[in-house]
Structure 1
Amino acid sequence: MIKYVTKKSDPTQRYLVVFHTQEARDEKLSMPLKCRRSDAWLGEGFYFWLEEEFAHYWGSDSKKPIYCIYKGYLLDKNILDATFSSKGYFLFVQHIDKAIEHIKRTYGRSPSLAEVHAYLADKIWHGLNIKGIIYDDLPKNSRSGERIYSEIKPLYYKKRIQLVLFDLDILEKFEIYQDNQEVKENE
């Protein structure tokens, strides 16, 4: 479940509670690590889960053998919600289509994921003052059967929602939440 909190000093301002998973390190992080991979599905940025459950799944799948989960609080403004808002979703799709068409016209070929995200970052998101995007990554049941997102295929009713943050200026707080989580052998 997505969680929001407010400060006692300003109950009108909401903060989105997010989770950042990383491999365990001797020195704890003071800020999230930026993903710069060319296959980053929402582009270059700081990735967070909106639910703790999926932060653990990511840790056990991708950050073996020991991982940590950090908790962050993001100011709830200038975030494009392409998961729960139809307006946000259609804006997201419209600009991705625009980026693809621009690259095809300019270079005469289909674009790579990295090219689409570079175009969006340079030409679209910055101009719209979008600091981050909320989107779900369409889960599927694991082959091992350990993770079941739905008993009824293909009704995957639990969205694995991520947020990519392009700019840390709306990150209010970042702290260790669960330290040194060990991956279980059967996962």
Structure 2
Amino acid sequence: MELEVYHTQEVRDVILKFPCLAEGSDHWLGDGFYFWQDFEFSEVWGFQQKYFKKNESSQFCIFKSKLTFKQEEFIDTVFNEYDYYNYVNNIEKFAKIFQGKFGKKPTLEEFNDFIADTNPWENIKVIRFQDIAGSGSTLEVKGFFYKKRIQIRVNDPDVISNFEFIKNIVCK
């Protein structure tokens, strides 16, 4: 399988040759390489997250890349009904175990700690999931969120190739 995807970063002194590894408890699916399936959302993300957060240059850049992997190394929670329900069931199973043990719902950080500790997707290299809709700036019908804002998380850098700079965007 192959996917063409987009990676957004703040402008740096040297153009990146490879995507940046996202680390930390605030990422939806833990540490990994995060991409957007659609260019327009990589641009929206740049304005929302790369420009307004500690970016002195008032610029961000977008890269295009190709992901190549086998079907069995992929969880598609967006377009594959079986993968979606299996994914949801596993997350909710973890949440119920956590609630039974600690008497509260787990936070994203606690869920990501669980992912790091147990590696439930050990043989999975790519997960496609739907992000929250956001502001709706990419929609042609105001207030109707008909487009899926799709992210891809990669945990094996070997599936990433053809990482190329597309453009800098100067924020005004």
Q: Which TM bucket (shorter chain)?
A: 0.7 to 0.9
Mapped contact 2:98–2:106 kept (Cα < 8 A): yes
In the alignment, the residues of structure 1 paired with residue 35 and residue 29 of structure 2 have an alpha-carbon distance, to the nearest angstrom, of: 11
For 2:102, the equivalent position in structure 1 comes to 107
**RMSD of Structure 2 on Structure 1 (CA):** 1.8
1:12-91 superposed matches below 5 A: 14-64=1-51, 65-77=58-70, 78-91=73-86
In the alignment, the residues of structure 1 paired with residue 140 and residue 111 of structure 2 have an alpha-carbon distance, to the nearest angstrom, of: 32
SS at match of 1:120: helix
Question: Against the structure 1 CA distance between its residues 140 and 176, is the aligned structure 2 distance closer, same or farther, given a 3 Å change threshold?
Answer: closer
Mapped contact 1:73–1:173 kept (Cα < 8 A): yes
Question: Against the structure 1 CA distance between its residues 161 and 108, is the aligned structure 2 distance closer, same or farther, given a 3 Å change threshold?
Answer: same
Q: How many residues align?
A: 163
Q: TM-score, normalised by structure 1?
A: 0.79
* Residue 169 (structure 2) pairs with residue 181 (structure 1): yes
Letter in 1 for 2:169: Q
Choose between structure 1 and 2 for higher RCO, CA contacts under 8 A separated by at least 6 residues. Answer: 2
Deviation at 1:173, TM superposition (A): 2.7
For 2:148, the equivalent position in structure 1 comes to 159
2:120 pairs, out of 111, 120, 124, with 124
Deviation at 1:111, TM superposition (A): 1.3
Deviation at 1:131, TM superposition (A): 1.2
Question: Against the structure 1 CA distance between its residues 15 and 94, is the aligned structure 2 distance closer, same or farther, given a 3 Å change threshold?
Answer: same
For 2:54, the equivalent position in structure 1 comes to none
In the alignment, the residues of structure 1 paired with residue 138 and residue 16 of structure 2 have an alpha-carbon distance, to the nearest angstrom, of: 31
Residue segments in structure 2 that go unaligned for 5+ positions in a row: 52-57
Residue segments in structure 1 that go unaligned for 5+ positions in a row: 1-13
Q: Matched residues, percent identical?
A: 36
For 1:133, the equivalent position in structure 2 comes to 127
Structure with more of its chain in helix, by fraction: 2
In the alignment, the residues of structure 2 paired with residue 85 and residue 150 of structure 1 have an alpha-carbon distance, to the nearest angstrom, of: 26
Mapped contact 1:70–1:177 kept (Cα < 8 A): yes
Q: TM-score, normalised by structure 2?
A: 0.85
In the alignment, the residues of structure 2 paired with residue 123 and residue 76 of structure 1 have an alpha-carbon distance, to the nearest angstrom, of: 19
Q: Deviations over 1:35-66 (max 9, x none)?
A: 11312123221110001111111112222211
